[in-house]
Amino acid sequence: MKRSAGSLKRIGCILVLLALILCAACGRREAPAGTQTPAQTQTPAQEPEQPQEADTKPGGQETPGENAQPDGTDTETGADTQPETERVTESETLPQAVYTPDDKTVYSTTTLNVRAGDSTDTEKLGKFTRGQKVHQLAVGDNGWVRIEYNGQTAYVAGQYLSETEPETEAYAPAGRDVVIHGSGNGQLIVIDPGHQRHANKEQEPIGPGASETKKKVTAGTTGAGTGIEESEMVLQVGLKLRDALVSAGYRVIMVRESQDVDLSNVERAKIANDNHADAFLRLHGNATDSSSVRGANPIIMTKKNPYNASLHDASYRLAQCVIEEYCDATGIKNRGVKEADTYSGINWSEVPVILFEMGFMSNPEEDRLLNDPSFQDRMVKGIVNGLNRYFAGN
Contact footprint for Zn ion (CB under 5 A): 194, 220, 284
CB of 204 to Zn ion, least distance (A): 17
Cα 89 to Cα 9: distance, rounded to the nearest angstrom: 19
CA dist list (Å): 2 to 82, 85, 296, 310: 11, 19, 89, 76
Of 41 and 291, the one with the shorter C-beta distance to Zn ion is: 291
Of 257 and 274, the one with the shorter C-beta distance to Zn ion is: 257
CB of 230 to Zn ion, least distance (A): 5
- Per-residue buried b or exposed e for 74-93, using 16+ beta carbons within 10 Å of the residue's own CB: beeeebeebeeeebeebbee
Give me the residue whose beta carbon is nearest to Zn ion: 284
User: What is the amino acid identity at position 275?
Assistant: N
The full length of the chain comes to 394
With a CB cutoff of 8 Å and minimum separation 6, the contacts of 212 are 205, 206
CB of 324 to Zn ion, least distance (A): 22
How is residue 249 annotated by DSSP?
T
Cα 308 to Cα 301: distance, rounded to the nearest angstrom: 8
Q: What would the 3-class secondary structure string for 282-296 be?
A: EEEEECCCCCCCCCE
Reduce the DSSP state of residue 260 to 3 states and report it: coil
CB of 346 to Zn ion, least distance (A): 13
Of 44 and 220, the one with the shorter C-beta distance to Zn ion is: 220
CB of 158 to Zn ion, least distance (A): 50
Of 47 and 367, the one with the shorter C-beta distance to Zn ion is: 367
CB of 191 to Zn ion, least distance (A): 14
Backbone angles phi, psi at 336, to 5 degrees: 85, 170
Of 110 and 371, the one with the shorter C-beta distance to Zn ion is: 371
Of 11 and 219, the one with the shorter C-beta distance to Zn ion is: 219
